[in-house]
Amino acid sequence: MKHTNFLRPLAVVLGLALGVSAQAGTYDISVDKVRIDTGTFKKNGIGYNGSQTPTILNFQEGEDVVIRVKNNLRESTSIHWHGLILPFQQDGVPGISFNGIKPGETFTYRFPIEQAGTYWFHSHSGFQEPDGAYGAIVISPKGGEAVPTDRDYVVQLTDKHPHSGSRIFRNLKASADYYNRAQRTAQDLIEDAGASGLKAALQDRKMWGAMRMMPTDIEDVQGFTPLINGASTLQNWTGIFKPGEKVRLRLINSSATTYFDVRLPGLKMTVVQADGNDVKPVTVDELRIAVAETYDVIVQPREAKAYSIIGESAGRTAMVRATLAPSEGLVGPYYKMRSRPLLTMADMGGMMGGMDHSGMDMDGMDMSGFDMSGMDHSGHDMSGMDMSGMDHSGMDMGGMDMAAGIPVVPAEGASGAAFYAPGSGLIPSAANGGKFLGYEDLRARKPLYRDRAATREIEIRLTGNMERYIWSIDGVKYEDADPIRLTYGERVRFKFVNETMMAHPMHLHGMWTIIDTGKGAYDPVKHTVSVAPGTTLYTETEVDAPGQWAFHCHLSYHMAGGMFRKVIVEGGPS
């Protein structure tokens, strides 16, 4: 299945043919009910232009675009242009920037293209995005790509489930572990007892049970079929190359809930762009792409053979393979999925700080050897807890403030681990033992903003109750929360404190997010940042876009569960 679904307006085509720059383009998108076929199951879903293959919009930097969206559904819809800098009225979020697109209506978006890079678009109405309403955006820079390539492909990942998005959310609200197919079994207990002793294994089970959690609670939803460009492993999307060519792969994660670890066995990936912004090239063997992020990587296959593009879920519950090949019909090798990671108490740390321990019977819990020096347990009555004999050797939690998350500290010698809690079970590693990309590896190619001190700091606590499947910011759901108010022209420092045991990809609409990695003006600039469990992450934002904007976790069911805010930017340019 070759990727050919490009939308390019006639004005752009003529402009390229005549060697002149196109100043405006008109694009048409229809929102349709489609029949989705993954090769393993079929279901009703939503697609753009009548297809389950993601539509790709090709823009030119400096162009003024006109996009006519026809709603062929029986319900209202919308399109949000993820990562694009534009007037807030064109941002496509019902209830914040416009009223939505009613059934049968055509809505016309108009905005200038002020940037270049890889982005994507999706519905911001109900659960239409996990049901299939997403596509890709490729914006060509005025002066050409900083790193030219011979081939250029979008590689858009998603997690397609047999259930509809609304049904999944209902099931999660009824039972948060409804889709957890990695429940701990008696056989796991036997193996744990063999490794650490029966007493320690039993006490570990008791501790997790007291928190009504499982070490396998890494992904909300399992049982999905992952797709690349609308194709499953069986359907085998294929990109063609000639040996020796440089091939740009524009990785986009359009999943509802799934982080993917991406690699091409036998090939190095050179990362040249993150979330649409050029970075100093860094060569890696593997990377983790959070939900809603994009990365541009360059590979150079030198042999005339098929190479696999592997997307493996971070929870190791599903995998998809596409192919790079010198000709059609070839299939890249398939690789066995790696063993599943398990959460540790380091990942649970932030959540435990905000837990209600009332009624939690922890008598007889044996926790000797569990280094809790410096742990803030103010307000928690742990009298009578028997901590003798529990072996948590190697889990150093000294100095951890359970109510404020674990500060982000680079782990010694752990590639890609600087933004995970020390001792986390989620710290990624490359399948071949090589280099794994981390945020700390990203360095802006050119500064987007001058480096200046922030005018103020805002703490954003990411909170939730997994058992009840409620997600929130600062303990308050969206419908009960006041907007976050910013002032045009200020530079705000955000302190993200993740008090939950799940990673949250946080997306601020309309403005860039600068991750504080200690590089000053060369800190990476992104539109989505992943905040790992039990950690604290600092970012900064130049408040340069007046209007009303959405700010939320990009896991579809966390956003629907309440981890969402409206941001109001007051004032504007003189």
Q: In the β-sheet with 6-7, what is the strand arrangement from edge to edge?
A: 6-7, 56-60, 134-140, 117-122, 80-82
Could you report the per-residue pLDDT of 96-114, keeping only the tens digit for each?
999 999 999 999 999 999 9
- Report whether 379 contacts 323 (CB < 8 A): no
For the residues of 281-293, what is the DSSP string, one character each? EEEESBEEE-TT-
User: Do the Cβ atoms of 366 and 203 come closer than 8 Å?
Assistant: yes
- The DSSP symbol for 557 reads H
Residue 319 has pLDDT above 60, yes or no: yes
The residues, any chain, with a CB within 8 Å of residue 259's CB and separated by 6 or more, are: 253, 288, 289, 290, 291, 313, 314, 315, 503, 530
The phi, psi pair for 501, rounded to 5°, reads: -100, 15
Q: Write down the pLDDT at residue 119.
A: 98
Amino acid at 199: K
Query: Which residue, among 532, 513, 327, has the nearest Cα to 428 in the 3D structure?
Result: 532
In the numeric block, the tokens 């569990």 are attached to 370
More confident residue, 413 or 59: 59
Extended strands (E) in 285-428: 287-289, 294-299, 307-313, 319-325, 406-407
The amino acid at 86: L
Query: How far are the Cα atoms of 39, 68, 510 from residue 98, in angstroms, in the given order?
Result: 38, 15, 14
Task: Return the minimum-mean-pLDDT range out of 126-140, 195-209, 511-525.
Answer: 195-209
Q: For residues 101 and 82, what is the distance between their CA atoms, to the nearest angstrom?
A: 18
Q: What percent of the chain has pLDDT over 70?
A: 78
Task: Check pLDDT > 50 for residue 20.
Answer: no
Residue 240 burial (10 A CB sphere; 0-12, 13-18, 19+): middle
Rounded Cα–Cα distance for residues 255 and 220 (Å): 12
Tens of pLDDT, residue by residue over 375-429, are: 333 333 333 333 333 333 333 333 333 333 444 544 333 445 578 988 898 999 9
On the question of pLDDT at 167 being above 90, the answer is yes
Alpha helix ranges (H) inside 197-240: 198-210
| Confidence (pTM) | 0.84
Is a pLDDT exceeding 80 seen at residue 218?
Answer: yes
CA distance 520 to 530: 20
Pairing of strands 269-274, 277-284: antiparallel
List b or e across 325-350, with b for residues whose CB sees 16 or more CB atoms inside 10 angstroms.
bbeeebebeeeeeeebbbbbbbbbbb
Please give the C-alpha separations between residue 289 and each of 436, 437, 503, 533, in angstroms, as whole numbers: 11, 10, 12, 16
Residue range 83-95: average pLDDT? 98
Tell whether the model's pLDDT for residue 73 goes beyond 60: yes
Instruction: Return the DSSP state at 480.
Output: G
CA angle (547 as vertex; 545, 549 as ends), nearest 5 = 90
Residues sharing a CB contact under 8 Å with residue 233, sequence separation 6 or more, in sequence order = 39, 319, 320, 321, 322, 334
CB atoms within 10 A of CB 189: 15
Residue 202 has a pLDDT of: 57
pLDDT (0 to 100) of residue 9: 44
566, two tokens? 């409206």
Summary mean pLDDT of the chain: 84
Q: Got the DSSP string for 41-104?
A: -EEEEEEETTBSSPPEEEEETTPEEEEEEEE-SSS-B--EEET----GGGS--BTTTB--B-TT
What does each C-alpha distance from 225 to 130, 159, 230, 312, 321 come to in angstroms?
12, 6, 11, 11, 11
pLDDT tier, 448 (very low <50, low <70, confident <90, very high otherwise): very high
**Burial status of residue 164 (CB atoms within 10 A of its CB: 0-12, 13-18, 19 or more):** middle
Amino acid at 229: N
* Residue 371: per-residue pLDDT: 35
pLDDT of residue 23: 56
